[in-house]
Amino acid sequence: MATIHQNLSEFDTGNLPDASALSFGIVVAEWNTNITENLYKGAYQTLVDSGVQAEKIIKWEVPGAFELTFGCKKIIETHQPDAVIAIGSVIRGETSHFDFVCQGVTQGITQLNLLYATPVIFCVLTDDHLQQSLDRSGGKHGNKGVEAAVAAIKMAVLGK
């Protein structure tokens, strides 16, 4: 989704399905923690504001974005949530490492969505520089974590 003129935090809880009986896993990468924690806070608060009980939201941390796939797989197998949100931030550097990490995480999350009946929501920022990440994790473009939580609710209901 292009976000140049959109605030990602704009949504109407009245247009969301009832989420009060649902449970969610949120797997958060520790790399670029200033970004990922803001995304987590946006996702968590959106779930709570949408009627999800706090005790039905499980947070796990993994070292980096590349480890998100394994963390999501294990949280599905261990807790069987209705949906999982994978939160990470990869910022382009001077090498092609960025491309390999982004491609691996994207393919891994896609595979999880095909292998499991539990939807895994992609909330991994893949930005060219820190300011873009800040703008999308609570800055001028809102919080991508909010958008991921809305998608998680919708997909959890679809999966039921």
pLDDT average, residue stretch 80-84? 98
Q: Is 5 a catalytic residue?
A: no
Mean pLDDT computed over every residue of the chain: 93
Please name every residue paired with 88 in a beta bridge, in sequence order, or none if there are none: 124
In percent, the amount of the chain with pLDDT more than 90 equals 84
Cα–Cα nearest to 151, from 30, 2, 47: 47
In percent, the amount of the chain with pLDDT more than 70 equals 94
- SS3 state of residue 16: coil
C-alpha neighbours within 13 Å on the C-beta side of residue 145? 28
Span 10-44, pLDDT tens digits? 777 778 899 999 999 999 999 999 999 999 999 99
Active-site residue, from 79, 97, 129, 141: 97
Span 101-141, pLDDT tens digits? 999 999 999 999 999 999 999 999 999 999 999 999 999 99
Whole-model pTM above 0.95?
no
Residues with Cβ within 8 Å of 44's Cβ and at least 6 positions away in sequence, in order, are 26, 57, 59, 145, 149
Tokens of 156: 């959890």
Q: Domains plus CATH for the chain?
A: 24-159 (3.40.50.960)
Give yes or no for residue 147 having a pLDDT over 50. Answer: yes
